[in-house]
Amino acid sequence: MNEDPKLSNAFFGGGCFWCIEAAFSDLKGVSKVESGYSGGSEVNANYRSVSAGITNHAEICKITYDPKKISYETLVKIFFTAHDPTTYNRQGNDIGPQYRSIIFFSKKNEFDLIEKIISEMERDGTYEKIVTETEPFEKFYKAEDYHQNYYENNPKQPYCSYIIKPKLQKLRKQLKQFYN
């Protein structure tokens, strides 16, 4: 999965992959973030079919990270802070199963950790009810090149200016210790 055996991957979907990509791309310990699709039955997923909602794939990001510099637990907690995990198949104006909140886990201990964090966040009142799905990771389909590094490459695009930028500013202020 990784060319460097010292690196690991995390797979998160929380609305538009441009938002998740922007939230994770400048974290200390994260070496790469790729936008893509997962969780559906269609082979060779692409933006047109996924955004039409006919594949059951979600827009997700593959986060490649160094577990010696940032833990999986920290990534999961940042994921829950970076989007609204209480809305079913929706993030803001992005509506449909392709925008669902989902974490794909590769190992049993990742699943256990996700469940523990969800339980803690519901118990301590961070969120009343988290609807984030958890599924075993099967396949990642990298999105088209124009979706990669979208926020960085298109900061003046209206979606980036009005949706991503304020989210990112809030996240960086709240979790500044994790950002470069």
Give catalytic residues, as residue numbers: 16
Report the chain's C-alpha Rg in angstroms: 15
Amino acid at 53: G
* C-alpha–C-alpha distance, residues 51 and 81, integer Å: 24
Q: Which of 68, 44, 62, 89 is nearest to 148 (CA)?
A: 62
Q: Residue 101: which H helix or E strand, with range?
A: strand 101-105
Q: How many CB atoms lie within 10 A of CB 148?
A: 18
Interatomic CA distance for residues 82 and 122, integer angstroms = 16
Q: How far is CA 115 from the centre of its chain?
A: 17
What the block records as the tokens of 165 is 């930028």
Residue located via tokens 């999961």: 76
